[in-house]
């Protein structure tokens, strides 16, 4: 099951989940996989117009069961475990996300190392990834590196250097590590290469992360973390 570390995550392993939560996560992942197949095939499709219209009708029909129960912006997904690092809909790593590659991340010798393959849905220049997608991947793995190093924070600056285009439908490797800690400010560096040529850096980034003070955390996330305390209506609208 995909796990993604966020700014308010701890790095300790999550406790065992109940079977119903695991089943719900499995269902979310199954839907995510189907959605990713759909969006990739749509981006690559050369099917005739009538086939595309038939597909659009089927997709509209599929939104009915999915839309039956919706959470609000202020509600954390019931299948997530923030402290355990489970974010099912994270747009980079989440198994339930239609737009996540998804990036798989593990810790190797103190570095966060990620792997993914980008489909045609991420195309910018023909055959290569959109630059914003590279920045998205780098921001995520930098955030992961700061979390696993015990310094979770929010990105306040992301400097990205594009040295060569990132090829689509090609296994990629990302690596990130913390290079400096100055009070609440944490600097980390990350790279994107292909798996076959790990020494040829395609894109690199330096990220500056700031650990939130408790008042900042409360201001930004209080509604989601304590919905009943801050706004009883938010949990139910
Ligand atoms: C699962 C996800 C994994 C991770 C995914 C990637 C993470 C993300 O994408 S996070 C989302 C994107 N980032 C954001 O939305 C953050 C938006 N920024 C903010 O909300 C605020 O800047 C916030 C709350 C982080 C910090 O508050 P702010 O008042 O700006 O800073 P403050 O707390 O006073 O400053 C702390 C230090 O950081 C410095 N600083 C803040 N911003 C910057 C900046 N852009 N550049 C340089 N230094 C900065 C300050 O100067 C200060 O330095 P010092 O202690 O030396 O005086």
ipTM: 0.96
Q: What is the CA radius of gyration of the chain?
A: 19
Q: Is the CB of 208 under 6 A from ligand 1?
A: yes
What tokens appear for 177 in the block? Answer: 């590590």
The confidence score (pLDDT) of residue 110 equals: 87
The confidence score (pLDDT) of residue 203 equals: 99
Pocket test for ligand 1, best of 9, 11, 154 (most atoms within 8 A of CB): 154
The terminus-to-terminus CA distance of the chain in angstroms comes to 30
Residue 186 CA, ligand 1 centroid: distance in Å? 10
Give the global pTM.
0.91
- Band (pLDDT 50/70/90 cuts) for residue 83 is confident
Domains assigned to the chain: 104-218 (3.10.129.10)
d(CA 176, CA 203): 12
Lowest-pLDDT choice from 86-95, 118-127, 225-234: 225-234
Quick check: helix, strand or coil at residue 188? strand
Overall average pLDDT of the 112-132 stretch: 98
Distances (CA, A) of 135 to 9, 98, 131, 159: 22, 18, 6, 9
Residue 218 DSSP one-character state: H
């Amino acid at each position: 099951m995909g796990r993604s570390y966020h700014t308010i995550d701890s790095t300790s392993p999550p406790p065992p989940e109940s079977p119903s939560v695991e089943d719900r996560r499995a269902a979310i992942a199954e839907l995510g996989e189907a959605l990713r197949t759909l969006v990739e095939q749509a981006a690559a499709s050369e099917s005739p117009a009538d086939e595309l219209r038939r597909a659009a009708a089927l997709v509209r029909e599929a939104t009915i069961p999915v839309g039956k129960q919706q959470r609000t912006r202020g509600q954390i997904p019931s299948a997530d475990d923030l402290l355990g690092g489970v974010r099912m809909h994270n747009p980079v790593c989440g198994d339930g996300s239609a737009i996540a590659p998804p990036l798989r991340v593990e810790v190797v010798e103190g570095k966060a190392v990620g792997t993914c393959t980008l489909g045609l849905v991420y195309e910018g220049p023909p055959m290569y990834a959109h630059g914003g997608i590279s920045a998205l991947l780098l921001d995520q793995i930098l955030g992961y590196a700061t979390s696993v190093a015990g310094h979770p924070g929010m990105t306040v600056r992301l400097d990205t250097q594009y040295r060569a285009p990132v090829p689509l439908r090609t296994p990629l490797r990302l690596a990130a590590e913390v290079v400096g800690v100055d009070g609440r400010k944490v600097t980390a560096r990350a790279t994107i290469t292909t798996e076959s040529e790990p020494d040829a850096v395609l894109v690199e980034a330096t990220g500056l992360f700031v650990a939130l003070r408790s008042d900042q955390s409360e201001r930004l996330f209080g509604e989601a973390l304590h919905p009943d305390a801050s706004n009883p209506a938010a949990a139910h609208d």
